[in-house]
């Protein structure tokens, strides 16, 4: 299996002009190593957060050119495994996140990871390994790695975990896939603007899907299928995610928009991914058992 080190190339912006660091065939499984979101600049409690290079934030390893991926296709990304480092870091600061108005100075906290737990003072927190930044190059201008969008990017969706499969709309030839910004754990919302940030490596399988298209990323795991949307407001994000899911289920089943809307109001879940990035990200979640009963194969 191929491995790509972050030393081979990182990006700070998803951009169709980025030069690929590796070319792979559809169906390739590859291991991708990453920095943490601070590019490993905060290693001890003595590091002054204000003095780090803030131009080196959210680096993503890549891009990877996937042969036969063309605009209008879908790039399927199966997350086979997530590995993380032995410690994480969190930060808070003035005007950052939801509580920035109550915080007077930049602070960081180093969090050891041991025996599948995160040590926060005397507390043992459960791991929830996930990928914050993951996606493809957008069609138009580049999008910095701190911002989510239709291409994916900094969605900070805790469901982007081991065993999940993501589906990205392909906007440019080769898709130009990249990922980074791993978390040992992160709650819905990521309210401080920081999860438990860690370096790591992800093993993923990249596959091109022809004959289907998407406007925004989707995700599935063993239990659910989700529509993910990022927008200027949380209201807009969740409305778009909901409407795209309802319309897709209606197309893939023999139900009307009205019937699917009623079903989703009874069974579907409107959920928050993050509320602290330049765009807000939400997901609409549907249980797979319902899709199976409807015989609705969404992709």
- As separate numbers, helices (DSSP H) first and strands (DSSP E) second, the chain gives 3, 23
Domain boundaries, the chain: 2-209, 218-294
Instruction: Read off the pLDDT of residues 129-147 as tens digits, 9 standing for 90 and up.
Output: 999 999 999 999 999 999 9
* 198: number of Cβ within 10 Å: 27
Three-state secondary-structure class, residue 167? strand
Pick the CATH number of 2-209 from 3.10.20.340, 1.10.10.410, 2.60.120.580, 3.40.718.10: 2.60.120.580
Question: Rounded distance, CA 195 to CA 180, Å?
Answer: 13
Question: Rounded distance, CA 267 to CA 169, Å?
Answer: 26
Question: Rounded distance, CA 244 to CA 206, Å?
Answer: 24
Residue 19 DSSP symbol? P
pLDDT value at residue 46: 87
Tell the CATH topology of 218-294.
Endonuclease I-creI (3.10.28)
Structure tokens at 103: 């915080």
- The whole-model pTM stands at 0.97
Question: Rounded distance, CA 65 to CA 79, Å?
Answer: 18
Residues lower than pLDDT 70 in the chain: none
Instruction: Read off the pLDDT of residues 154-203 as tens digits, 9 standing for 90 and up.
Output: 999 999 999 999 999 999 999 999 999 999 999 999 999 999 999 999 99
């Amino acid at each position: 299996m191929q491995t790509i080190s972050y030393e081979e190339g990182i990006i700070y912006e998803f951009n169709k002009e980025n030069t690929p660091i590796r070319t792979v065939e559809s169906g390739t499984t590859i291991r991708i190593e990453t920095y943490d979101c601070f590019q490993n600049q905060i290693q001890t409690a003595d590091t002054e957060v204000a003095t780090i290079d803030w131009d080196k934030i959210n680096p993503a390893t890549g891009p990877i050119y996937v042969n036969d991926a063309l605009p209008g296709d879908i790039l399927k990304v199966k997350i086979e495994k997530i590995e993380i480092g032995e410690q994480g870091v969190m930060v808070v600061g003035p005007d950052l996140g939801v509580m920035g108005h109550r915080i007077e100075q930049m602070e960081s906290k180093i969090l050891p990871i041991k025996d599948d737990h995160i040590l926060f003072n005397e507390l043992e927190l459960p791991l929830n390994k996930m990928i914050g930044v993951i996606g493809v190059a957008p069609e138009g201008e580049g999008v910095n790695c701190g911002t989510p969008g239709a291409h994916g990017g900094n969605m900070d969706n805790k469901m982007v975990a081991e065993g999940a499969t993501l589906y990205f709309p392909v906007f440019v030839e080769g898709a130009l896939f990249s990922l980074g910004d791993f978390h040992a754990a992160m709650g819905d919302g990521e309210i401080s603007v920081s999860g438990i940030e860690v370096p790591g490596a992800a093993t993923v399988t990249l596959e091109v899907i022809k004959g289907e298209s998407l406007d925004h990323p989707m995700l599935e795991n063993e239990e659910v299928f989700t529509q993910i949307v990022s927008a200027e407001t949380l209201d807009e994000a969740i409305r778009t995610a909901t409407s795209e899911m309802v319309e897709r289920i209606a197309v893939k089943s023999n139900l009307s928009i009205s019937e699917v809307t009623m079903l989703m109001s009874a069974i579907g879940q409107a959920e928050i991914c993050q509320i602290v990035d330049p765009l807000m990200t939400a997901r609409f979640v549907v249980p797979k058992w319902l899709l199976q009963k409807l015989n609705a194969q969404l992709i």
